[in-house]
């Protein structure tokens, strides 16, 4: 239990570093999204070869779901990295975490899985907190509102990714197999997008490459891997609360490392969003 708890918090902290890497990157936001997955691909396939999780049995449904997972994650990263560039790290990370609420809403609309009253309370709180964040963004900078909007779009794509991953796991695809294949698909989809964006695609210095390696190996592979390890051993309700550490840690790191201040209205909105996400997760468990 103690090891799983440590893995959960370490994984959340690793992922919380990802917007910091994006901010200090020497390449554009779309290019950094491409390198985030591309540099992680060799590491993931090496780990997969060493772990021997069993032979992957492809069929039309699994292949379609893997393609969907790769496309969803490509959209998630592309929109989130732009959100990080245009608004505060705190706002972009908080709004991306609305994905869990969108997953429950999709299950309600598509599969008629009606959530409990606690979920609706959490949804209302999350929307109220988002309104406070948007109001704070209007006073912050001309681009912050667009960045907030892209953060919400990120949550939609991540919700699609989570639902697809759930379907793949239910069909017997191992977690590491899923990560290796879907990350490869994501990299292939982001490459032409990064080329077409006109952004700087290659870092100018060796330090620039190290930043991209940190994004790929520490935040992407390390963070996701540690959380996957923890979720297999911790109660779901406790894990959902523990993962709320990520947006809090991201905001703290942005303040410490980037000097990004938090306005009182932004703090209030963030607290309400976190409370809403917590209640919504409890209400949909």
Give residue-wise pLDDT tens across range 63-96: 999 999 999 999 999 999 999 999 888 888 888 8
Distance CA 267, CA 109 (A): 32
pLDDT reported for residue 202: 94
**Residue in 278, 272, 269, 275 with CA at minimum distance from that of residue 136:** 269
Task: Give the chain's mean pLDDT.
Answer: 84
pLDDT tens digit string along 151-172?
A: 999 999 988 988 888 888 788 8
Over residues 211-228, mean pLDDT: 87
Is 139 a residue whose pLDDT tops 80? no
Over residues 34-57, mean pLDDT: 84
pLDDT reported for residue 16: 87
Is 180 a residue whose pLDDT tops 80? yes
pLDDT reported for residue 130: 79
CA atoms within 13 A on the CB side of 256: 8
Query: Are 283 and 101 within 8 A, CB to CB?
Result: no
Max mean pLDDT among 13-27, 217-231, 270-284 falls in: 13-27
pLDDT reported for residue 261: 82
Distance CA 217, CA 219 (A): 6
pLDDT reported for residue 174: 80
**Residue in 172, 227, 177, 136 with CA at minimum distance from that of residue 52:** 177
Two structure tokens written together for 243: 């993962």
* b/e map 164-186, b = 16+ CB within 10 Å: bbebbeeeebebbbbbbbbbbbb
**Residue in 245, 176, 186 with CA at minimum distance from that of residue 17:** 245
pLDDT reported for residue 132: 78
Is 185 a residue whose pLDDT tops 80? yes
Is 134 a residue whose pLDDT tops 60? yes
Q: Work out the pLDDT band at 28, boundaries 50, 70, 90.
A: very high
pLDDT reported for residue 61: 87
Q: Work out the pLDDT band at 237, boundaries 50, 70, 90.
A: low
pLDDT reported for residue 105: 79
Measured from the Cβ of residue 263, the count of other Cβ atoms closer than 10 Å reads 15
pLDDT reported for residue 49: 84
Over residues 185-206, mean pLDDT: 94
Over residues 200-209, mean pLDDT: 94
Distance CA 164, CA 147 (A): 26
- Higher pLDDT residue, 67 or 239? 67
């Amino acid at each position: 239990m103690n090891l799983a708890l440590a893995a959960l918090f370490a994984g959340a902290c690793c992922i919380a570093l990802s917007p910091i890497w994006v901010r200090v990157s020497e390449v554009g936001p779309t290019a950094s999204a491409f390198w985030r997955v591309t540099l992680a691909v060799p590491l993931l396939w090496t780990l997969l070869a060493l772990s021997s999780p069993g032979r992957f049995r492809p069929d039309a449904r699994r292949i379609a779901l893997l393609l969907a997972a790769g496309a969803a994650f490509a959209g998630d990263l592309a929109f989130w990295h732009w959100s990080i560039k245009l608004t505060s790290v705190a706002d972009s990370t908080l709004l991306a975490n609305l994905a869990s609420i969108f997953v429950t809403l999709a299950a309600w609309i598509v599969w008629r899985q009606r959530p409990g009253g606690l979920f609706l309370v959490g949804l209302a709180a999350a929307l109220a907190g988002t309104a406070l964040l948007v109001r704070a963004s209007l006073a912050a900078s001309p681009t912050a509102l667009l960045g907030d909007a892209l953060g919400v779009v990120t949550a939609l794509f991540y919700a699609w990714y989570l639902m697809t991953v759930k379907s793949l796991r239910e069909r017997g695809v191992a977690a590491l197999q899923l990560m290796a294949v879907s990350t490869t698909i994501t990299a292939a989809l982001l490459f032409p997008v990064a080329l077409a964006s006109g952004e700087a695609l290659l870092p100018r210095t060796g330090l620039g490459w190290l930043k991209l390696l940190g994004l790929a190996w520490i935040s992407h592979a390390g963070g996701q891997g540690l959380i996957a390890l923890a979720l297999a051993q911790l109660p779901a309700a406790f894990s959902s609360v523990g993962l709320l550490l990520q947006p809090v840690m991201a905001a703290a790191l942005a303040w410490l490392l980037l000097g990004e201040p938090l306005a009182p209205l932004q703090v209030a909105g963030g607290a309400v969003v976190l409370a809403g996400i917590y209640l919504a997760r409890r209400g949909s468990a």
